[in-house]
Amino acid sequence: MLSHIYSPWRSGYFTTDSNDVCVFCEIANNPHNDVKNRVFYRDSICFGVMNLYPYIPGHFMLIPHKHIDTPTLLSQEKWQHLHILSQKSIAMLEEYGASGINMGINIKKAAGAGIPEHLHLHFVPRYEGDTNFITTIANSRVYGVDFDSIYDKISCLAKKHLYDL
């Protein structure tokens, strides 16, 4: 439980597929499934997707299309692009209503990456006193309708903040 609270950027995805298909490459290569996969942003370099196993509703990720496990394998231009989008993502979460934000990257397995093969940047909206909330939801993962409305709201905000490059 404590690891949930103190590592909010750790990915909740687990590889259950015996074919070892990279879940992020699957999302990157199938834009026709964007709504189903909860992708709210996409350009030629990266995409933004809701974390399906969020520590807090509103938890999303920015992910380069390229299947790499460390930023050093990205060109400086693409890395800069991710950082410009990160800044815009923070503005987006501030408008979303977050009173604080955890932003983080776990690079490779030893650092705790949930999908170490494919680099991803986490953005987690935080609220005063929300650790009680995390404790409550960590074992349930039941969001239902709320998850859909959060995706809609983030998609709306992405049009305003992220597409304005």
Binding segment toward Zn ion, per CB under 5 A, in 13-21, 24-32, 106-114, 135-143: 24-32
Asked if residue 156 binds Zn ion (CB under 5 A), the reply is no
DSSP code, position 90: H
**CB nearer to Zn ion: pick between 67 and 141:** 67
118 contacts Zn ion (rule: CB under 5 A): yes
- Binding mask of the shown chain, residues 25 to 44, with x at each position contacting Zn ion by CB under 5 A: x-------------------
Nearer to Zn ion, 25 or 137 (CB): 25
DSSP 60: E
Segment near Zn ion (CB under 5 A); pick from 42-50, 60-68, 84-92, 131-139: 60-68
Is residue 24 a contact residue for Zn ion (CB under 5 A)? yes
Nearer to Zn ion, 92 or 115 (CB): 115
- Cα distance between residue 71 and residue 94, in whole Å: 26
Rg, C-alpha atoms of the chain: 15
Half-sphere exposure for 134 (CA within 13 Å, toward CB): 23
Buried b (16+ CB within 10 A) or exposed e, 14-48: eeeeeeeeebbbebbeeeeebeebbbbbbeebbbb
Determine if 109 is a binding residue for Zn ion (CB under 5 A): no
Per CB under 5 A, 78 contacts Zn ion: no
Residue closer to Zn ion (CB basis): 54 or 64? 64
- What lies within 8 Å, CB to CB, of 114 at 6+ separation is 10, 11, 12, 13, 14, 106
- Which residues sit at the interface with Zn ion, rule CB under 5 A? 22, 24-25, 67, 118
